[in-house]
Amino acid sequence: MIKFIVFIISVTHTLYAHPHTFIEIYPTITVKNKIIENIKFKWQLDEMTSSMLIMEFDNNSDGKIDDEENRYVFENYFLTLKDYNYYTDVLIDNKVQFFPTPRNFKTSIENNRICYYFEINPQYNIKNTKFDFGDTDFFVAMILKKEFITITGATPKVSDLDNDFYFGYRLEIK
């Protein structure tokens, strides 16, 4: 009985949250002398979520995100993800760090999908660094596949992220 109750409560831990938005992560990573010097991210949102966002982002309905619209997205949408550490936990010696301030943020519409571009210049050592992608609220599913990664100077390793109540991916660089 107790086991059953514990099971039910643990399954319902995130009762109203299960992925409704899917974000594909395409990182381009530059490693020099075992130091991660630069990561350019492209996040590609699923088409359904994109269709909703385009209604709001593309204010003048010209099918593009211009500078002013980009600023709106950055301030009202992207920056709010800081509270979620940009769905990316950087672990150094297995301790979670704050995600570095993203630079050169750009939104675009590609094949009816919203794409976010941004980059970080972290200077992390590949030996003790891991990246965990996932939304602890599980409203967003982050999708990372090995073929999404472009890397120079090292090789990536993608594995399933073993968290109790949401699903994510771990990236290590060897």
Q: Applying CB under 8 A, does 8 fall inside the site for another protein?
A: yes
Q: How far does the chain reach from its first CA to its final CA, in angstroms? A: 46
Among 6, 12, 62, 108, the residue binding another protein under the rule CB under 8 A is 12
48 touches another protein (CB under 8 A): yes
Binding window for another protein (CB under 8 A); candidates: 34-42, 45-53, 86-94, 96-104:
45-53
Interface characters, 130-159, with another protein (x: CB under 8 A): --------x--x-x----------------
List the one residue from 25, 42, 46, 102 that touches another protein (CB under 8 A).
46
Angstrom CA distances, 76 to 18, 35, 57, stand at 23, 33, 10
13 counts as binding another protein under rule CB under 8 A:
yes
Among 70, 74, 100, CA closest to 85: 100
Q: Which of 165, 153, 167 lies closest to 124 in space, CA to CA? A: 153
CA distance linking residue 73 with residue 170, whole number of Å: 27
- Which stretch, 19-27, 34-42, 65-73, 97-105, contacts another protein (CB under 8 A)? 19-27
Return the residue of 67, 68, 147, 164 that touches another protein, per CB under 8 A: 164
Compute the distance between CA of residue 137 and CA of residue 117 in angstroms, rounded to an integer. 23
Closest to another protein by CB, 56 vs 62, is 56
Q: Does 2 bind another protein (CB under 8 A)?
A: no
CA torsion angle 103 128 158 34 (round to 10): 70
Chain centroid to Cα 152, Å, comes to 20
* Dist CA 50 CA 88 (whole Å): 21
Work out which of 18, 34, 71, 174 binds another protein, going by CB under 8 A: 18
Chain residues that interact with another protein, rule: CB under 8 A: 1, 4-5, 8-9, 11-20, 22, 46-49, 51-53, 55-56, 112, 138, 141, 143, 160, 162-167
